Structures are given as C-alpha cells and as structure tokens.
Amino acid sequence: MITSIVLIKTSVDQIPEIAEKIAALEGVSEVYSVTGAHDLIAMVRVARHDDLADVIPGRISKIPGVASTETHIAFRTYSQHDLEAAFAIGLEA
C-alpha cells in the first residue's frame, strides 16, 4: 500500500464542499481541514504508484475550486503501536 499526504489549496469559501468531493474519491481515505498555508490535507492510499496519478492530478486537481496540490509520499509508517513495541523490547521480565 502506498500512502501519500496531499496538501491542497482551495477557494476558501468552498472548503466544506470541496473536502466532501475529495473524500468521496476512490483512494482517498481521509480529508482534514487545517490551518496554515494549505486549506485541506488528504490522505491517499493506493496499491501502485501509477494509481497516484489517477487520483491526484487525474481527479483531485480537476475538482472545481482546487487551486493547487503538493504531494508527499510516505516511505515508512511509525504508528503509536509500533513505537510502544519498539520501546518495550527487553523490558519483559
């Protein structure tokens, strides 16, 4: 599974509507409205790198009101569960 974090700039007056359209796309697992330089963050999870092109420039960028996107591809996931397991190594007695 390939995970990417997509930072999205939108028309500010349409954030909720745009977020709902993005969230409805196949491959998009979550959409967050955020503060800062970007308006939305979408988590995109797909099987292949080629699928990113279908979802991000192919669909997200074409939604009316989406001004720009910036994509970050995740290399590795460090969940709270993984961190707890790592720090617990050697602590069993």
- pLDDT tens column, 5-49: 999 999 999 999 999 999 999 999 999 999 999 999 999 999 999
The mean predicted confidence, pLDDT, of the chain is 90
56 in a domain, yes or no?
yes
60 in a domain, yes or no?
yes
Domain with 10 in it: 2-87
Task: List the alpha helices (DSSP H) in 14-75.
Answer: 15-23, 49-55
Say which CATH number the domain at 41 has. Answer: 3.30.70.920
- Give me the pLDDT at residue 78, please: 77
93 in a domain, yes or no?
no
Flag whether pLDDT at 80 surpasses 80: no
92 in a domain, yes or no?
no
- Give me the pLDDT at residue 77, please: 80
Cα distances (Å, whole numbers) of residue 45 to 2, 26, 28, 63, 86: 6, 9, 6, 19, 25
Q: What percentage of the chain has pLDDT greater than the value 90?
A: 80
- Split into its structural domains, the chain has a count of 1
